[in-house]
Amino acid sequence: MTSNNLDKETQIRNGKGTQQKGDWCELIAAAYFRKNNYHVFSRMSGPIDLVLIHQLTGETRYIDVKYKNTRKAMKTKGLRINRPVTTPLKKFIKIEVVYVGDDCQLEKAYAKGAKKWHTEFKIDRDSTGQYNGKVVKK
């Protein structure tokens, strides 16, 4: 047994499912960007999943595609779980994170940082004062 109490075989099986889901998300994101006038180059090494070049402006973007994972039974109440880019490469180039959900919709991550997010948004509370998970603009 390992630290997560799963045997090696189960870990390998779960990992293959995760890889397939990640590949699916990359295909959905690539199709979205192609429809929006980008040339899409995929399968880059490291944290960059897609390199985009806009057909008209020549703008270059670096995209890290992630599955929009939600945990309905947790405090997040079904909201997206953020997973930031942690590579040192982000100091040199801007890597955008794009989430793809089961509904095939893309959602961009807030890229200005946690401190800036808290100055622009807040989490709403219900009548009892408990957080209800809804994000509202300040």
Contacts of 89 (CB under 8 A, 6+ apart): 46, 47, 48, 95
Of 5 and 99, which is predicted with more confidence? 99
3-state SS, the chain, equals CCCCCCCHHHHHHHHHHHHHHHHHHHHHHHHHHHHCCEEEEECCCCCCCEEEEECCCCCEEEEEEEECCECCCCCCCCCECCCCCCCHHHHCCCEEEEEECCCCCEEECCCCCHHHHHHHEEEEECCCCCEEEEEEEC
Evaluated on CA atoms 104, 12, 85, 83, the torsion sign reads positive
Delimit the domains of the chain by residue range.
8-111
Instruction: Read off the pLDDT band of 114 (50, 70, 90).
Output: low
Token pair recorded at residue 72: 């309905």
If you average pLDDT over residues 56-63, what whole number do you get? 93
Instruction: Read off the pLDDT band of 127 (50, 70, 90).
Output: confident
CB atoms within 10 A of CB 98: 22
Place of tokens 């703008």: 59
24-50 per-position pLDDT tens digit:
889 999 999 999 999 999 876 677 889
What's the predicted TM-score (pTM) here?
Answer: 0.64
CATH topology of domain 8-111: Trna Endonuclease; Chain: A, domain 1 (3.40.1350)
User: Residue 128: what pLDDT?
Assistant: 84
If you average pLDDT over residues 107-112, what whole number do you get? 70
